[in-house]
Structure 1
Amino acid sequence: MSTEYSGKGDPARSLALLWRTSERVSRKGKPDLSVDRIVRAAIEVADGEGLAALSMRRVAERLGVGTMSLYTYVPGKPELLDVMLDTVYGETDRREDVPGGWRERLTHIARENWALYLRHPWLLQVATSRPVLGPNVTAKYDYELRAIDGIGLSDVEMDAVLTMVTGFVHGTARVAVDAKEAETQTGLSDEQWWSAHSPFLARIADPARYPTATRVGQAAGETHNGAVNPDHAFEFGLTRILDGIETLIGRHDG
């Protein structure tokens, strides 16, 4: 799985696209194109065919226009990818009336990010260590920080807590997407795969040599009906992370 990188485009052009400060209007007689329409088509390509299929030519084909027509609105693929990222990040719910306290607010944020990755698996192939400085990314970051503002953490700790939560979601979402892709690519469910391999495992597995792995692996496999259950991993891990944050807050209170 190849990795794309955000922030590879020309900074001035990317920011102009992200904030729509210099969008051109299509000329009379030309197809009704816009940055938004191009970006939406690109997202549809990535959702349906994978990020590897994304190209200016493929987006143009989906829109039924010539490839060169796109360059009137979008300088190139790097800038297009930045706007795609910012656009889908705008999908997360940012309600202000989440019942409960900071735990419930962070849980809501984690589940919104989890759902976002499952809707757009290609997001997991984009490295965002250089963040997209668009309006939706900025609003999302501000909203998520406000969920833990005023609970006793320093500004640096707030940023670190949010990074920890979203990083955890990213990792577990990758497991979920990989598991689904494995079933698609092999044509076998986890249950079918284990059923086919279990006779061979029984021959090579030695409980006397690997007692802990045998015991734990059998218990987990029977519980999850497979090697891993992404939903369980998400819920279990998120609860433990929230417990750790609560301990950190308690140290400040003490």
Structure 2
Amino acid sequence: MADEEPTSIWMQPERHERSGPGRRPGYSREQITQTAVRLADAEGMEAATMRRIAQELGTGAMSLYRYLPRRDDLFDLMIDMAMSEVELSDGPSGDWRSDLTLLARQIRATSLRHPWLVGLLTSRPTLGPNLLRVHEYALGAFDGFGLDIDDITGYVGMLDDYVHSATRRELGWLEEARRTGLDPERWKQDYMGPYVRQIVESGTFPLFNRSVLDSRTAHLAPVERFRHGLDRILDAIAALITSSRGHAVGQAEEP
């Protein structure tokens, strides 16, 4: 008999076990996922193995597969648990730019708390309830403006791509700082500084020189750099909306 095709964890009923005399208490998906998130936050995704999680819970690794048939199921649950931390209002306000700014900053903050999150989000399709809640909010920010759904999904995709890329780069700097023991500013000054000065003095790359010497954004703090880039993405979306509709869009139209 052929193996059954795997089904989404969101379609699999939660297993509940009652503990009895002489039996160890059962576990839950939430307990297992919380343990995995804690390990991944502290030591990286490579630490969040079923064996290590089982050790933390005081059980055998095989027992966890009664709750999560595949490790991929664990990844989906970890993503959704992290996304539950994204705090949003009950619905969009009607000011799409304000709504998406709030959303982008929330996702960045959540991703910095969970450095493994962006890697999972951008490497696997998943549709847990909390991720859907966030995505629906992003789509809903454009609702009421008479925009085509293809345009709406495209604009949300632009925002996602920027937030994930910018946050991944910021996390890379933080990881390098942990590895070398230098904070990003010290790393740039002490390690890269002499070489950059040599490049500048050579005059070989004049536009690079301008980006180092004259650029204001090159010297912004990470959060300010993120906000600057976010504003440019939102400016681009606003221009695309204006081009497609022939006039600027700010607030949702009256019904």
The match for 1:241 is 233
Aligned sequence identity (%):
35
Report how far residue 239 of structure 1 moved: 0.7
The match for 1:164 is 158
The match for 1:60 is 54
In the alignment, does 2:222 pair up with 1:230? yes
User: Alignment partner of 1:83: what SS?
Assistant: helix
User: Pairwise CA RMSD of aligned residues?
Assistant: 2.6
Q: Which residue among 61, 70, 73 is the counterpart of 2:67? A: 73
Q: Which residue among 201, 206, 209 is the counterpart of 1:211? A: 206
Q: Deviations over 1:51-107 (max 9, x none)?
A: 122210111112122222212211131111111112222221121377671110111
Q: Structure 2 counterpart of 1:82, which letter?
A: D
Normalising by structure 1, we get a TM-score of 0.83
Q: Which residue among 5, 8, 29 is the counterpart of 1:35? A: 29
Higher relative contact order (CA 8 A, sep 6+): 1
The match for 1:104 is 98
Task: Note if contact 1:151-1:249 (Cα within 8 Å) is conserved in structure 2.
Answer: no
Task: Note if contact 2:75-2:120 (Cα within 8 Å) is conserved in structure 1.
Answer: no
Report how far residue 223 of structure 1 moved: 6.1
Q: Which residue among 181, 185, 188 is the counterpart of 2:179? A: 185
Report how far residue 120 of structure 1 moved: 0.9
Q: Structure 2 counterpart of 1:104, which letter?
A: S
Task: Note if contact 1:41-1:59 (Cα within 8 Å) is conserved in structure 2.
Answer: yes
Equivalenced residue count is 240
- Inter-partner Cα distance in structure 1 for 2:180 and 2:132: 40
The alpha-carbon distance between structure 1 residues 58 and 206, as it changes in their structure 2 partners (threshold 3 A), is same
Q: Structure 2 counterpart of 1:244, which letter?
A: A
The alpha-carbon distance between structure 1 residues 223 and 81, as it changes in their structure 2 partners (threshold 3 A), is closer
The match for 1:7 is none
Q: Which residue among 87, 90, 112 is the counterpart of 1:93? A: 87
Q: Structure 1 counterpart of 2:110, which letter?
A: L
Q: Structure 2 counterpart of 1:176, which letter?
A: E
User: Alignment partner of 2:201: what SS?
Assistant: coil
Report how far residue 212 of structure 1 moved: 2.7
User: Alignment partner of 1:206: what SS?
Assistant: helix
The alpha-carbon distance between structure 1 residues 24 and 153, as it changes in their structure 2 partners (threshold 3 A), is same
Query: Unpaired segments of 5 or more residues in structure 1?
Result: 1-9
Report how far residue 202 of structure 1 moved: 3.7
Deviates further, 156-165 or 73-82: 73-82
In the alignment, does 2:146 pair up with 1:152? yes
Query: Unpaired segments of 5 or more residues in structure 2?
Result: 248-255
Task: Note if contact 2:87-2:106 (Cα within 8 Å) is conserved in structure 1.
Answer: yes
Q: Structure 2 counterpart of 1:79, which letter?
A: D
Report how far residue 218 of structure 1 moved: 2.6
Q: Deviations over 1:208-247 (max 9, x none)?
A: 32233223213348962xxx74323311111111112222
The alpha-carbon distance between structure 1 residues 215 and 155, as it changes in their structure 2 partners (threshold 3 A), is closer
Q: Deviations over 1:111-149 (max 9, x none)?
A: 111111111110122254652132222222212211111
